[in-house]
Chains A and B, each alone.
Chain A
Amino acid sequence: MEERRVGVDLKDAKEKAPAMPPPAEKPVVPAAAAPAKPAAAPKPAGPVPEPWNSAIPEDLRNRFGSAIKEANTYLGQNYLLVDRAVVYDVLSILRAEHEFDYCVDITAVHYPKRELQFELVWVLYSFARNERMRVKTQVKDGEPVPSAVSIWPAANWLERECYDMFGITFSGHPDLRRILLPDGWKGFPLRKDYSILQQDQDWVRANLGIESGQ
């Protein structure tokens, strides 16, 4: 009885309500003042990386040859893909000789189907040149990456987070421990094979005294 009444009320309300609130009045000035830019729809194919021609990749290519696998510009952003063996030297040279004095970020991307599963990314910025670039390298699961803490102290927590989320180890890191997850946690959540609902049930049971943290 009660339910039915509520239902009727709702239905009435729906019928009474206008279909849509009137849209906010848009200014009727034609697009004369506005540039043509907004009209440009994204191209379906998408832009492609272009070669990055500058003194930096040239210098590094002269020193390391084919260990610099790619030096490209994508959407105006420059990046290098280098071999793991030379990544520490590349980063030190960028810091010491090309004034990339600010290590913005260190992160990783997991590509489980590749043989070199993890792609490490260093985002660098130079105050003197007002320029940003990325250095990337690819590593296998379990393969250590040289730590950049001796180049930029900022790398400390960023590398710890990478280890915490992906299980990538950094050789030479002063204190490589989990940072966001608890120390005893098992599994690395940002790997693609870690499901979004997955959690370390044993840890949750032992430490929180509940069956599930979800």
Chain B
Amino acid sequence: MTEPSSTSSPLDLGGRTFLDSSELVLNMGPQHPSTHGVLRVILKLDGEKVLGTECVIGYLHRGVEKIAENRTYAMFNPYVDRMDYVASVSNGLGYCLAVEKLLNVEAPPRAQYLRVMMTELNRLTSHMVWLGTHALDLGAMSPLFYTFRDREEALKIFEKYCGARLTTHAFRIGGCIYEAYEGMDQDVVSYCNFLEPKIDEYEQLLTTNRIWVERTRNVGVISGAECIALGVTGPVLRASGVKWDLRKAQPYSSYDKFDFEIPTGRNGDTYDRYLVRIAEMRQSVRIIRQAVAGLPEGPIMAKVPKVLKPPAGEVYVSIEAPKGELGYFVVSDGSTQPYRIRVRPPSFVNLQALDKMVRGQLVADVVAVIGTLDIVLGEVDR
């Protein structure tokens, strides 16, 4: 840059206008509360308008897939809880189902119902973390306190069931290791009774709140076709009007015996995704009630050998995790250790849609869209 000569006026910028509208590159994160972990987003801006984004990920990469190749099937089971750590029960369910498929065994009905009960409770806690943090990002502080207070009660049930609150390791390959503790059915039903009015309470705070609606409606719009092209699944896909849920499309773990609906949205914006997740919470409560009422008697563990040696082969098994399709591609060479385990993480694939959703929007909307995608960086980076 040349020094301005002493004779020129301070406003003479050598031909350039005073308001220079060149593009600005802004770095957001990796340590930023709204990125829900360690995500770095490089934003290209024109004023406040987003022209493009680039995600820099991998800060939490721990090489989970490599670890899997060096552990036995049973030893790897607790590791999967550390991927999506707010929905660890779902991770464990997907992994157990994949290895069970490879072993060609099926968990007994009682174990399947227990699994459904736990997984749906976990879907509730996952959605509550999402709602609290997402609302906090957009300036509504109270929902965080409400949801974390109510989530705590579910975590207490987890703790009583398997001793852990977050990284639960609740299931084993072949079924469940823990029988329902005494009084679990009452605990779960009273939690359902407790939670239903609380969901109404969250809605009272937000659904018709003018600021909330202004901040979320028509923000981060994505169509159903775009979601499919980008591989986006879960509530984001459903909010764009695609009625697709793996629990219905390809039922696993007895989900075909439960009566529930798939809530969908119309506009594919942040507000619809909020409504879809709230509706999903109500459906989860409905499923949990059915699981308690219909819990069959019988064993909770299928007959699996102490040392697991699945026959050589490969399978891909996926489940509907709170964030979308969570898949495990497991390759066995007939030994005690998996030859390869690939995790298909919903957060990783969904995050890819961020660029599409924020182009042309404002910087503040980037925060809204990261929140609405409901990513967990532990799962993105693995």
Q: Which of chain A's residues 160-197 have a Cβ closer than 8 Å to chain B?
A: 161, 165, 179-182, 189-190, 194, 196
> Interface readout for A1-45 with B: 1 if CB under 8 Å, 0 if not?
000000000000000000000001111010101110111111101
The chain A residue with its CB closest to the CB of B70 is A196
Contacts of A180 in B (CB 8 A): 57-58, 61, 381-382
Contacts A180-B58, A181-B58 given; does A130 touch B249 at CB 8 Å: yes
Contacts of B314 in A (CB 8 A): 74, 109
B324 to chain A, nearest CB (A): 11
| Cα of A89 to Cα of B107 in the assembled complex, Å | 40
Contact A105 B108 (CB under 8 A): no
> Is residue A93 contacting chain B, with contact meaning CB distance below 8 A?
no
A152 to chain B, nearest CB (A): 6
B interface, size bucket: 35 or more
Q: Is the interface of A mostly helix, strand, loop or mixed?
A: loop
> Is residue A157 contacting chain B, with contact meaning CB distance below 8 A?
yes
A122 to chain B, nearest CB (A): 11
Stretch at the interface among B114-122, B340-348, B358-366: B340-348
Contacts A130-B249, A153-B229 given; does A38 touch B108 at CB 8 Å: yes
Contacts of A42 in B (CB 8 A): 103-105, 304-305, 310-311
> Is residue A92 contacting chain B, with contact meaning CB distance below 8 A?
no
Contacts of B212 in A (CB 8 A): none
Contacts A154-B352, A181-B58 given; does A34 touch B109 at CB 8 Å: yes
| Cα of A41 to Cα of B109 in the assembled complex, Å | 16
| Cα of A103 to Cα of B352 in the assembled complex, Å | 13
Contacts of A132 in B (CB 8 A): 250, 316
Contacts of B108 in A (CB 8 A): 34, 37-38
Q: A109-B339, A158-B349, A180-B61 are in contact. List 16 more A-B contacts (CB 8 A).
A: A24-B181, A38-B105, A43-B311, A46-B334, A75-B315, A104-B344, A107-B342, A109-B331, A121-B329, A121-B342, A123-B344, A152-B231, A153-B230, A157-B348, A181-B61, A190-B65
Which residues from chain B sit less than 8 Å from chain A, CB to CB?
57-58, 61, 63, 65-67, 69-70, 101-110, 175, 178-179, 181, 228-232, 242, 244, 249-250, 296-299, 302-305, 310-316, 318, 325, 327, 329, 331, 334, 339-340, 342, 344, 348-349, 352, 381-382
Can you list 20 pairs linking A and B with CB atoms under 8 Å apart?
A: A29-B297, A31-B299, A34-B298, A37-B302, A38-B105, A43-B104, A45-B311, A77-B315, A104-B231, A123-B329, A130-B249, A132-B250, A153-B352, A154-B349, A158-B349, A180-B381, A190-B65, A196-B63, A196-B66, A196-B70
